[in-house]
Amino acid sequence: MFKPPAALLFFIFSLTAVNATVLFKEAPQFYNSPDCPSVFDGEENTNRLCSDDGIHVAMTLDTAYIRGSMAAILSVLQHSSCPQNVIFHFVSSASANALSLHAIISTSFPYLKFKIYPFDDVAVSRLISTSIRSALDCPLNYARSYLADLLPICVRRVVYLDSDIILVDDIANLANTPLNDAVLAAPEYCNANFTAYFTPTFWSNPSLSLTFANRSPCYFNTGVMVIDLSRWRLGDFTAEIEEWMELQKRMRIYELGSLPPFMLVFAGNIVPVDHRWNQHGLGGDNFQGLCRDLHPGPVSLLHWSGKGKPWARVDANRPCPLDSLWVPYDLLQTPFSLDS
Ligand SMILES: *[C@@H]1O[C@H](CO)[C@@H](O)[C@H](O)[C@H]1NC(C)=O
């Protein structure tokens, strides 16, 4: 048994206090397989963040979920056949310490191609009305509605991922989902009771209830989406989403947070993504945090949606059985496990 001397512990503590980057381990380097397109050849001055042959991934970044984000990034790279072609676009609150977030990412992923975009969460808070789950009211949750504005024009397609996910399959298979004429693709759940996502106020209003008149809308999850940003920009869908949010402030037309405006704008017009790309609900139910099992069928992406998060349950020594699938991707340093 190795007992770290007090001086070493003090050293680790002071490093942690001064520089949060030591909290996370460095991930291994991942290499493209030989048949990957070479995305970053060519002139020095071509924007490395723009390539159409790259796989663009957008995620939010904040201190509360950073451990989840780090694990998610690692899982994307580890299962990608062309990991060097994956480009990450991180959105963080404009008030967050971007330098510190940048240092955390580049310490663990020194070879990662990424950029952090500041999100004006003060501006969006003005549009947020309180939902039935306060965790959903965090302004950064709404960043997914603004990707078309935040990311550079040259990025034309992006995969948006929540921070409480783990991929166990090649992200290229998700990113290359044919969108046809649609703006977005997402896992769709037509057995869910769509009516229940909107209030009686919405359905009893003669003009509002016509919103879905010429569509066959289904519930879909916005934690995993493939978005055609060019089409989004052309259709100015950010403005449309904001209009619904403004209406929600005046009359309560739904109960959840950032999801209903997405459904109001896109439900019935999306490309369904195979359910293997969103094995959702692993966070457990929102009331008691009960453990959930996988849904039947193949698994490409595990999603700890719901109240419980695997890192919190593992730390509390109360993990759910499936949390063991998350643990191998945890990059958190554990200086105190030296004696294990
Ligand atoms: C769907 O939800 C609505 C509103 O909550 C409810 O009135 C209706 O009975 C539900 N339908 C089914 C099939 O469960």
pLDDT tens digits in sequence order for the chain, 340 residues long: 444 444 444 444 444 444 444 689 999 999 999 999 887 665 554 577 888 889 999 999 998 899 999 999 999 999 999 999 999 999 999 999 999 999 999 999 999 999 999 999 888 888 887 765 566 568 899 999 999 999 999 999 999 999 999 999 999 999 999 999 999 999 999 999 999 999 999 999 999 999 999 999 999 999 999 999 999 999 999 999 999 999 998 999 998 888 999 999 999 999 999 999 999 989 887 667 688 888 889 999 999 998 899 999 999 999 999 999 999 999 998 765 444 3
**How far does the centroid of ligand 1 lie from the alpha carbon of residue 191, in Å?**
12
CATH topology of domain 49-334: Spore Coat Polysaccharide Biosynthesis Protein SpsA; Chain A (3.90.550)
Q: How far apart are CA 82 and CA 318, in angstroms?
A: 36
Q: Which of 190, 193, 253, 254 to mutate to test the pocket of ligand 1 (most atoms within 8 A of CB)?
A: 193
Cβ of residue 196 lying under 6 Å from some atom of ligand 1: yes
pLDDT at 21: 47
Cβ of residue 6 lying under 6 Å from some atom of ligand 1: no
Q: How far apart are CA 318 and CA 305, in angstroms?
A: 17
- Beta-bridged to residue 185, according to DSSP, are 226, 271
Contact 220/187 with Cβ under 8 angstroms?
Answer: yes
pLDDT at 286: 63
Contact 257/136 with Cβ under 8 angstroms?
Answer: yes
- Kindly report the protein residue whose alpha carbon is nearest to atom 14 of ligand 1: 193
Contact 107/60 with Cβ under 8 angstroms?
Answer: no
Cβ of residue 193 lying under 6 Å from some atom of ligand 1: yes
Q: How far apart are CA 296 and CA 126, in angstroms?
A: 41
pLDDT at 256: 81
pLDDT at 327: 97
Q: Where are the domains of the chain?
A: 49-334
- If you ran DSSP here, which 8-state letter would residue 297 be given? S
